[in-house]
Structure 1
Amino acid sequence: MKRKLFSIVFILIVTATCRFALAGPDTQFILEKLFTRLTLVRQDNDRLRINDSICAIIDSYARSDSAFNHTFEGLRYLGQITSRKSQLKIITWNIALGESGGKYFCYFIHNTGKENQVYRLESDYDNEAPLVNRQYTEADWYGALYYDLRQYGKGDQQHWVLLGLDLANPEITRKIIDVISISPEGNIIFGKDIFRNGKTVRNRVLLEYSSKAVVTLRFNTDKLIVFDHLVP
């Protein structure tokens, strides 16, 4: 009984913090404690309950005016990247689970000039790699941790090139170059047929390698992405 009461009170405290101190030090302190708890508890149900509290904080934060002029500093397990013109911010994290392997969580925050358009995505770990010759949507997002992006184009042709990391398969690490755009209906689309290798055109680039190896993938300039050469 005491444990249930503590959980209810804790969630209420988190919700109140979201409303009144979205970008304050108290919110960062609570997030640090929550992510630390995720690494310590052993039961999946406990991890999912803790993650619900994290989602409540990030959801309110993403919809606030603070999202594009504030970054949580030093949060080891929370990825945060923002485009140079502050039109798109991406927040990602993952949690390990016993039965399914784990889950990815992602918030895409689009600055429309009026209010933030927020997309919340989640995906179970998948041992299979995302396909390079098809597009994905919010509903069937493959799941990844994004760590860099660049913005290109204007208006209806605006899109963002993302660099991502997939750790779902314990034996294989994947790094992904993908493109996202927002349709006129306001839906996120993953993939664009701009990657050419000889006569083959792909929607994304996928690098797969042993989890024991180290492979870099980064923007060298806005127009050049470099990565280590992989030998099959």
Structure 2
Amino acid sequence: MTRTLLLLLGLLAGAAVQAQRLDSASLAVLQQQQDSLQYLAYNILNGRTEDARRQSSDRFIPKLVQALKTKYSFDFPFDSIRSVSIQYPEDSTFRIFSWGLEMDNGFYHHYGAIQMNTKNGELKLFPLFDNSDYGNADTVAGNKAWYGCLYYKILQRHYFNREYYTLFGYDANNLRSTKKLLDMLTFKDGQPVFGGPYFSFAEDTVPKPVRNRFIVEYKKEATISLSYNPEMDMIVYDHLISATNEPGKPYTYVPDLDYEGFKWKAGKWVHIEKVFHDALERGKFPVQHPLDQRKKDLMHPQTAEEMEAEKAGRKRKNR
């Protein structure tokens, strides 16, 4: 029986048990508290002034903690709080709350918390303190020096009896640019650790140093993808170029219809410089306009190495 199947069976069994952990009285209390939290969360996002938004956020935090102190609150989804992201890993050992506060100058400050899924239902919570506006972004840090963002996905990987949680984050950043990022969450002695030497560029044409965190910054009006494709078993994201030929200014970066990616290998995300390769027929010249993305085989991308191996195989076959 595969590890994936065992994990799935375990999750199903766990869900059946957890469904019975919250009694009716606790459920009623949490539903009432959720109504108050929903109102405050809406104002965090939609308040007319920074002061109004900040006051709502300041009131939201203690009310959320109060709700989470209810025994087995982990089983309550808080799914009516639409403006706060709540993300779970595959093994459901924790969940992360995250949200952003827009300031009047167009910058964002983020808030968050990790709630652990405890067996006895007691609250174990790690508040997250946004440190992203200070110092080096390529850090390894605990919850008190968190690189703040809004999480939209958690991808779990297992390697050498350890769990690795890849966090996909979004940061509206400022008036000129937006950021998306990949961060790694691990636990050491029960404490959360963000970042680490898990993003490798050793296989690039020109190898670059390993990164503790991967961040892409791009023009505010642009739209880019940074996501996991299960058919490829790969993280894929847009390759970016400066629209004004100013590579030193990330706020000018836009997608160019090419893609890069990361492949999980031996406990690291290894960078793939070019996910898709469009081979030209002999005697034909490259087109002078963007390639039709619909003609790419999105389900079977090839790395440069795989293309060379396939080419060599055809040569041997034709001898």
Tell me the TM-score normalized by structure 2. 0.58
Computed over aligned residues only, the root mean square deviation of the Cα atoms, in angstroms, reads 2.8
The yes-or-no answer on 1:131 pairing with 2:137 is yes
Change (3 A) 1:228 1:60: same
Change (3 A) 1:197 1:96: same
The yes-or-no answer on 1:146 pairing with 2:151 is yes
Q: Which has the larger radius of gyration?
A: 2
Change (3 A) 1:103 1:196: same
Task: Give the CA deviation at 1:82.
Answer: 1.0
Task: Give the CA deviation at 1:108.
Answer: 0.7
Bigger strand fraction? 1
1:8 matched residue in structure 2: none
2:216 matched residue in structure 1: 207
2:305 matched residue in structure 1: none
Distance across 1 between alignment mates of 2:131 and 2:54: 13
Distance across 1 between alignment mates of 2:34 and 2:42: 12
Task: Give the CA deviation at 1:41.
Answer: 4.3
Which residues of 2 match residues 149-168 of structure 1 at below 5 A? 149-153=154-158, 157-168=162-173
1:48 aligned counterpart, secondary structure: helix
The yes-or-no answer on 1:49 pairing with 2:55 is yes
Change (3 A) 1:121 1:173: same
Task: Give the CA deviation at 1:209.
Answer: 0.7
The yes-or-no answer on 1:218 pairing with 2:227 is yes
Task: Give the CA deviation at 1:208.
Answer: 1.1
1:171 matched residue in structure 2: 176
1:119 matched residue in structure 2: 126
State the aligned residue count.
209
Say if 2:42 and 2:83, in contact at 8 Å, map to a contact too: no
Say if 1:194 and 1:201, in contact at 8 Å, map to a contact too: yes
Say if 2:142 and 2:194, in contact at 8 Å, map to a contact too: yes
Distance across 1 between alignment mates of 2:67 and 2:160: 26
Task: Give the CA deviation at 1:160.
Answer: 0.9
Distance across 1 between alignment mates of 2:220 and 2:50: 26
Q: Quick one: which amino acid aligns to residue 152 of structure 1?
A: R
Distance across 2 between alignment mates of 1:20 and 1:157: 34
Q: 2:237 aligns with which of 223, 227, 230?
A: 227
Which residues of 2 match residues 25-44 of structure 1 at below 5 A? 26-38=32-44, 39-42=46-49, 44=51
1:191 matched residue in structure 2: 195
1:80 matched residue in structure 2: 86
Deviations 1:64-98 (A, max 9, x none): 44443232234331101111221020111112233
Task: Give the CA deviation at 1:196.
Answer: 1.1
Distance across 1 between alignment mates of 2:219 and 2:173: 13
Say if 1:161 and 1:180, in contact at 8 Å, map to a contact too: yes
Say if 1:91 and 1:106, in contact at 8 Å, map to a contact too: yes
Distance across 2 between alignment mates of 1:218 and 1:76: 21
Of structures 1 and 2, the one scoring higher in RCO (CA 8 A, sep 6+) is 1
Distance across 1 between alignment mates of 2:30 and 2:90: 20
Q: Quick one: which amino acid aligns to residue 110 of structure 1?
A: M
Change (3 A) 1:91 1:155: farther
Q: Tell me whether 164-173 or 34-43 shows the greater mean CA deviation.
A: 34-43
